[in-house]
Amino acid sequence: MDIVEGLPQGKALDLNQSGPVVGYEAHVTGTNGYEETAGSDIVVITSGSPRKPGMSRDDLLEINKSIVSDVSQQVKDRSPDAIVIVVTNPLDAMCHAAFDTTQFPRQRVIGMAGVLDSARFRTFLAWELGVSVRDVTGFVLGGHGDTMVPVVSYTNVAGIPIRQKIDDNRLEEIVQRTRDGGAEVGTLLQKGSAFYAPSAGVREMVDSIVLDQKRVLPCAALCQGEYGVDDLFVGVPVKLGSGGIEEIVEIDLDDDEKEQLQKSAGAVKELVEAMAKL
């Protein structure tokens, strides 16, 4: 669904025509209204203004709060049992906008950020070591922004701790590139923002929910005491099944990572408080 006339219809037709080649029978419908979305099981909210070069995610706060709140009201009215996946930036704050508007249970409002940030982290590590990305395991927690926390202590290559393969100084450079991942793509594109990797992240989350796979994935979830965070959407490992978030998985972080996660949660809190004043 998109407000631009013809755009969603054209994309839907294009996707339908790829079915015989790719091998799927699903019928894709493009629309400019919400009527066709009624009764949805899952709604992915990507609506909003994209980040432009030199613009932080936080700069998008006011305009995207209005957009996401409006979309969320439509979702609440037409698909009251849906699971909502928020992609719009600034991600953590927009999760609050969707949650506050829909008033859905916290299990059914989820932010897609950790899967994307973790994919960027794993990509950079694989390039550094010249290995397959499939053999790199690692994830990113915290807010989807400059304070995100790549969890180095749990990162490995085929089971080998990453610190045995890459020295701390180089690791820190890779961590920083991960934090700047979205901005780097946006600067190169000059117009718009990343869409291939985010869409792959959404697909992985949707698959886990629709197929009840119980995948443990880093997602923005409303923490209520987990990791010492109260009433904030922050990226944490969650188990995703048919009911949405079935569990927030708590792991033992080292002292530095705990401190970074609290700092990241603090940044999210400042953003949410600023949004409440708009």
| Residues 174 and 127: beta-carbon distance below 8 Å | no
Q: Which of 108, 120, 122, 144 is catalytic?
A: 144
Q: Which residues pair with 224 in a beta bridge?
A: 230
Q: Which residues pair with 237 in a beta bridge?
A: 218
Annotated catalytic residue 144: yes
- DSSP for the chain? --SSTTHHHHHHHHHHHTHHHHT--PPP---SSSGGGTT-SEEEE--SPPPPTT--GGGGHHHHHHHHHHHHHHHHHH-TT-EEEE-PSSHHHHHHHHHHHH---GGGEEE--HHHHHHHHHHHHHHHHT--GGGEE--EEB-SSTT-EE-GGG-EETTEEGGGTS-HHHHHHHHHHHHTHHHHHHHHHSSS---HHHHHHHHHHHHHHHTT--EEEEEEEEEESGGG-EEEEEEEEEEEETTEEEEEPP----HHHHHHHHHHHHHHHHHHHHHHT-
The CA-based angle 88-93-98, given to 5 degrees, is: 70
Active site residues: 144
